[in-house]
Amino acid sequence: MNEEQIIIVGAGPAGLMAAQILAERGFKVHVYEQNKAAARKFLVAGNGGFNLTHSEEPEAFLEKYESAEIQKMVREFDNERVVQWLGDLGISTYVGSSGKIFPTKNFKPIQVLKAWLDRLEQLGVAVHYENTFVGFDASFVYFKKSEEKIGVPYSKLILAMGGGSWQKTGSDAKWVETLTAKGIDITPLQSANSGYNTASNLHQLQGQYLKNIRVSFGNHHKVGEIVFTKYGIEGSPIYYLNRFTRKHDFPLRLHLDLKPNLSESEILSALQGPEKISSTLKRKLKLSTTALHLLKTLDKETYTDINILSKLIKKFPVEILSFRPIDEVISTAGGVSFSELTSNLELMKFPNVYCAGEMMDWEAPTGGYLLQACFSTGFWVGNSILK
């Protein structure tokens, strides 16, 4: 057994992956976690379909991350390695119709986690629950346990405390204050994989879906399904566009192409026929009921001008006002800036202290890309220490 004292803070996917890599190479690893149980957000991710990664080819896959640092780490420990790692834990996987990779139906999220925790236990990893990280110096990391403050010596310290959404899972981002006080540059956390609040004219469509539409913001676009809510819009094309809208100030304008497979002139020529506009939209152009309701939010003059209407079917403007509140979204953008980290993910100002997972400054859309990057950064940091 290696004598290094490895302490990992945060028993989420990133911290547990680093623990596994190091324990497999003979290190004694201690994981400290403020909850009573490990990986609660990982389990929450399993509620709506447990997509652990995606089957896309490397280039399309890497395009989902803007951060070159994350791209490099995902390339090193990629989707195939995740599938192999799961297989090694005894978890079989399949590729869903959307390309997302899930555990096969016989494995519930809790079983995936149990298989992982069992493996870590066999490797001698000790998990210490109900310990809240409150700080560190060059030799000790400090936790609050019950009302007591305890100092634990470390030779290598890995911080993997996650982002700031869904605080009830334990990822409360209180570390932001602690690290900021130590002079570490933290890009402010912001909602990611977030719906948008829209102008109120769309709120009447609450609960209705638009399928197979193309949503665009400038040159960026994504085809998929969106849902109208009491405050605005949600859906995977919306989440994909978050990172591009983030660079601008609200209010902003998205555009919906309600008929991606037809050109504007094809739509116009259909509307030039003898039938009433509403029946052409419904019968000839086969617009969905929701699309018809959306077009009905236009004023009468616009709706009845077929030149304008055909343009709007291809490019319906949606005014977006803001992201949703951080606590309700799937992930957060922002975090420990890469300018504070070496290529080993070690804090430049604090040698022997490393970061991994969502607490660093990157973002990705849902679809397995978040967990993939958490696994990859945990792997990377574990390997950096081995080197």
Ligand X SMILES: Cc1cc2nc3c(=O)[nH]c(=O)nc-3n(C[C@H](O)[C@H](O)[C@H](O)COP(=O)(O)OP(=O)(O)OC[C@H]3O[C@@H](n4cnc5c(N)ncnc54)[C@H](O)[C@@H]3O)c2cc1C
The residue range among 33-41, 150-158, 180-188, 233-241 that interacts with ligand X, by the rule CB under 6 A, is 33-41
Ordered DSSP codes for 19-81: HHHHHHTTEEEEEE-SSSSS-HHHHHHTTT----EE---HHHHHTT---HHHHHHHHHS-HHH
19 binds ligand X, rule: CB under 6 A: no
Quote the DSSP letter at residue 324.
P
> Closer CB to ligand X, residue 175 or residue 316?
175
Judged by CB under 6 A, the number of residues near ligand X is: 39
Cα–Cα distance measured from residue 189 to residue 79, given in angstroms and rounded to the nearest whole number: 27
Closest CA to 253 of 235, 280, 233: 233
374 binds ligand X, rule: CB under 6 A: yes
When binding is defined by CB under 6 A, the residue of 8, 161, 215, 270 that contacts ligand X is: 161
Smallest distance, Å, CB 153 to ligand X? 17
The residue range among 11-19, 79-87, 200-208, 261-269 that interacts with ligand X, by the rule CB under 6 A, is 11-19
The residue range among 19-27, 70-78, 146-154, 369-377 that interacts with ligand X, by the rule CB under 6 A, is 369-377
SS3 content of the chain, % helix, strand, coil (to 5): 35, 25, 35
The residue range among 7-15, 66-74, 263-271, 311-319 that interacts with ligand X, by the rule CB under 6 A, is 7-15
Smallest distance, Å, CB 347 to ligand X? 16
User: What does the block give as tokens for 387?
Assistant: 């080197």
Cα–Cα distance measured from residue 354 to residue 380, given in angstroms and rounded to the nearest whole number: 10
Closest CA to 327 of 174, 191, 166: 166
175 binds ligand X, rule: CB under 6 A: yes
When binding is defined by CB under 6 A, the residue of 19, 21, 30, 41 that contacts ligand X is: 41
The residue range among 77-85, 145-153, 162-170, 237-245 that interacts with ligand X, by the rule CB under 6 A, is 162-170
109 binds ligand X, rule: CB under 6 A: no
DSSP H helices, 231-320, are 236-245, 264-271, 277-279, 289-295, 300-303, 306-314
When binding is defined by CB under 6 A, the residue of 133, 362, 379, 380 that contacts ligand X is: 133
Cα–Cα distance measured from residue 127 to residue 207, given in angstroms and rounded to the nearest whole number: 43
Task: For residue 187, give the H/E element and its range.
Answer: strand 186-192
Cα–Cα distance measured from residue 15 to residue 7, given in angstroms and rounded to the nearest whole number: 10
Smallest distance, Å, CB 248 to ligand X? 24
280 binds ligand X, rule: CB under 6 A: no
Cα–Cα distance measured from residue 235 to residue 98, given in angstroms and rounded to the nearest whole number: 14
φ, ψ at 276 (rounded to 5°): -65, 150
Site string for ligand X, 302-331 (x = CB under 6 A): ----------------------------xx
10 binds ligand X, rule: CB under 6 A: yes
Smallest distance, Å, CB 132 to ligand X? 4
**Residue 377: is it exposed, middle or buried by C-beta count within 10 angstroms (0-12/13-18/19+)?**
buried
> Closer CB to ligand X, residue 61 or residue 175?
175
15 binds ligand X, rule: CB under 6 A: yes
197 binds ligand X, rule: CB under 6 A: no
Place of tokens 């945990």: 378
Quote the DSSP letter at residue 286.
-
82 binds ligand X, rule: CB under 6 A: no
- Region 208-267 residues binding ligand X, contact defined as CB under 6 A: none
| Inter-residue contact 374 to 82 (CB < 8 Å) | no
Quote the DSSP letter at residue 341.
B
When binding is defined by CB under 6 A, the residue of 79, 107, 120, 162 that contacts ligand X is: 162
List of residues contacting ligand X (CB under 6 A): 9-15, 32-35, 40-42, 44-45, 51, 132-133, 160-162, 165-166, 170-172, 174-175, 330-331, 357-358, 366, 368-371, 374
